[in-house]
């Protein structure tokens, strides 16, 4: 992903609300499944990492991206932004 594409996705993500929170429980199978569904429906999601999380936001973002086969666009403070192109046909995809 180029820096221009990353910048474009960050500007879109600035206006969306987080879809999930990661805390003390960490990444569960149900959380990964629900985030995968959210990525399929939206392509771009934001996740809030709580202060009681066992790992920092940067490492959790990398783990989530790997588990979801998504791209970690950015980690800003305690917010993680993930992108994965949706495989749905009847969907208006994010254009670069």
The rounded mean pLDDT for the chain is 93
Could you tell me if residue 22 is inside a domain? yes
Give the residue-averaged pLDDT of 48-66: 93
Write the DSSP assignment of 31-84 as a string of letters: HHHHHHHHHHHHSEEEEEEPTT-SS-HHHHHHHHHHHHT-EEEEEETTEEEEE-
User: What domain count does the chain have?
Assistant: 1
Could you tell me if residue 92 is inside a domain? no
Could you tell me if residue 91 is inside a domain? no
Could you tell me if residue 52 is inside a domain? yes
Give the model confidence (pLDDT) of 67-96 as tens digits. 999 999 999 999 999 999 998 888 788 887
pLDDT at 95: 81
Token output for 39: 């990525």
Give the model confidence (pLDDT) of 37-52 as tens digits. 999 999 999 999 999 9
Range of the domain at 39: 3-83
Could you tell me if residue 90 is inside a domain? no
pLDDT at 25: 82
CATH code where residue 73 lies: 3.30.110.60
Between 27 and 35, the higher pLDDT residue: 35
pLDDT level of residue 62 (50, 70, 90 thresholds):
very high
């Amino acid at each position: 992903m180029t820096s221009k594409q990353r910048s474009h996705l960050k500007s879109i993500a600035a206006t969306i609300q987080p879809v999930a929170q990661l805390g003390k429980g960490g990444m569960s199978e149900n959380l990964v499944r629900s985030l995968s569904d959210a990525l399929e429906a939206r392509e771009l999601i934001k996740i809030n990492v709580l202060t009681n999380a066992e790992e920092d936001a940067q490492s959790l973002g990398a783990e989530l991206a790997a588990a979801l086969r998504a791209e970690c666009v950015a980690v800003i403070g305690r917010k993680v932004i993930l992108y994965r192109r949706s495989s749905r046909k009847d969907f208006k995809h994010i254009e670069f």
